[in-house]
Structure 1
């Protein structure tokens, strides 16, 4: 029976990845825990009909209603407007038996100006977990799985991610999962000019994605958004003692020093998902010492060190380091 169950799980996972890589806009479902099912819906504002979209928004609001002690969220996906949901990627976790929604993450894809071109940035977005479901190890699915899917679908090319938070547990998770994260309490963290360009572009054109009003300030040195909870996200504001803490106290102390919780400050974190980040994610989610962990690590290392650089260098239609595409985007071959 165990062999049959394992075979079914493997078949289900293989089918999931084949569908993920083959669909132009993902709408996938996978049993990620014994009693939970995860659905990933890309751009629901453009792919779902009115009935399906209303049902999805109702599930998101149900989780929010069980999570927030008071107040309503009015920005982004909770508005129910197709425009906001068109740029979102929803990861919804539900009870596999009853279908009751218990957690979600709402990623957003932003197009940000950088060096005279447009850079895609994946905003990690709002995460909510029903209090009754906390402690079930959902953070890996809610934060990592969808981002990993997008990374793989784009040919394993590094992708920029952003995150806005005042929660030490979330800030620490971002620092430990992704690469080149700034700001971070880690000694190797540095603000590059690319970090600064993207942060300026996000604050100039994409505040609505994370519910920050025009009156909020931005400290470009520390990447701190001051007075952040005025653009529809007011109900998310927390005191430091209310914010979930990270197991490593370095992140708790960092947030306490950098943020004014009475005023309502947030960190704007920028980093990248690349092969190193993918490896960290896999090692954290797959039990160490197991054969799958060994195989996954070996495959990732092989891709990182030998295969990917060659494939990316040979592709003359995409930017690679200082190399530029042979023809501008959209220009037809002669």
Structure 2
């Protein structure tokens, strides 16, 4: 843990490796295409392909995060989970999107592609794969609300996102769509379809945030029938998806929500196992150290230079 603290302070992007309370080894790598060398990128992609090979029946995958190409991994945050013996079992490839909004672009963290080894499912990995990285980014942003997006046809994922994040729309009982939801949804569909593999011919129903005929832009292998789509333990989410999505056509739901203080409390109180809570808080502390506590410490020292700030008492020759 001490080594991880010092590495996190030195590194511009997240590059954390730690053990979870469930005995798994978790690695979070932010924007690896910007700083990893070719060999390291290739090794990371190999681990992701191992998981995909166990999850899909479509053979080898060599696009996007599976390619080992730096350009494809410049704006992703990968959460990789391995067993103690080093065998990779699950990952989430989140995408950082700059959505064109006024008066300035809005950063949205897309929950992205998630794959779990079939032998490791139902082992409560969702708190690591979905909420953990969002929580750490939220801490690093000095607790400013962070928009997240999700594109899926899986009722279990629709329900998980609705329960974990705040201000989620659409979802059962979520009320009316806000203007922020509408503008972000339009911006994502107009400029970021490639992030979730939706082709230009796919339609978008702004009233229900349903993407029609969604599996034509590279995500074909991820399409599921209603029978094969994992269901949520709460039947309302299953009914919601069944009523709104045409699984024969290949529809998806676009969800938007936020990681904020309320979502953080829910995440820590309901999602994170008690055995992992202390380690998670320590990890969040080291992530916040660089962005929150160190600037305060530097600001208080008026005798030292920090970036563009100069000491107030500088003798001029």
Q: What TM-score bracket applies, with the shorter chain setting the length?
A: 0.7 to 0.9
Runs of 4+ in structure 1 over 6 Å off: none
1:23 CA displacement: 3.4
**Aligned equivalents of 1:83 and 1:287: distance in 2?**
36
The CA deviation string for residues 127-164 of structure 1, in whole angstroms up to 9 with x for no partner, is: 10000111221110000111100000000000100000
1:95 CA displacement: 1.2
| SS of aligned partner of 1:195 | helix
1:246 pairs, out of 232, 242, 246, with 232
CA contact (8 A) 2:77 2:93 kept: yes
Tell me the equivalent position of 2:156. Answer: 169
Unaligned runs of 5+ in 2: 282-308, 310-317
CA contact (8 A) 2:162 2:168 kept: yes
1:182 CA displacement: 0.6
Tell me the equivalent position of 2:292. Answer: none
2:244 pairs, out of 258, 266, 285, with 258
**Aligned equivalents of 1:151 and 1:247: distance in 2?**
28
Tell me the equivalent position of 2:29. Answer: 41
The CA deviation string for residues 303-329 of structure 1, in whole angstroms up to 9 with x for no partner, is: xxxxxxxxxxxxxxxxxxxxxxxxxxx
Over the aligned positions, Cα root-mean-square deviation in angstroms equals: 2.2
1:119 pairs, out of 90, 106, 113, with 106
**Aligned equivalents of 1:272 and 1:214: distance in 2?**
27
Alignment of 1:140 onto 2:148: no
Tell me the equivalent position of 2:72. Answer: 84
1:29 pairs, out of 5, 17, 22, with 17
2:169 pairs, out of 166, 173, 182, with 182
Alignment of 1:216 onto 2:202: yes
Q: 1:287 to 1:84 in 2, by over 3 A?
A: closer
The CA deviation string for residues 219-246 of structure 1, in whole angstroms up to 9 with x for no partner, is: 0110010000111110000001101111
CA contact (8 A) 1:92 1:105 kept: yes
CA contact (8 A) 2:148 2:259 kept: yes
Q: Which has the higher contact order (CA 8 A, sep 6+)?
A: 2
1:69 CA displacement: 2.5
**Aligned equivalents of 1:119 and 1:19: distance in 2?**
29
CA contact (8 A) 1:27 1:41 kept: yes
**Aligned equivalents of 1:50 and 1:74: distance in 2?**
15
Q: 1:22 to 1:146 in 2, by over 3 A?
A: farther
1:284 CA displacement: 1.4
Tell me the equivalent position of 1:313. Answer: none
Q: 1:122 to 1:231 in 2, by over 3 A?
A: same
**Aligned equivalents of 1:25 and 1:93: distance in 2?**
19
With the length of structure 2 as denominator, give the TM-score of the two structures: 0.83
**Aligned equivalents of 1:214 and 1:286: distance in 2?**
38
CA contact (8 A) 1:75 1:233 kept: no
The CA deviation string for residues 102-132 of structure 1, in whole angstroms up to 9 with x for no partner, is: 0000001000011231100000001100001
CA contact (8 A) 2:49 2:60 kept: no
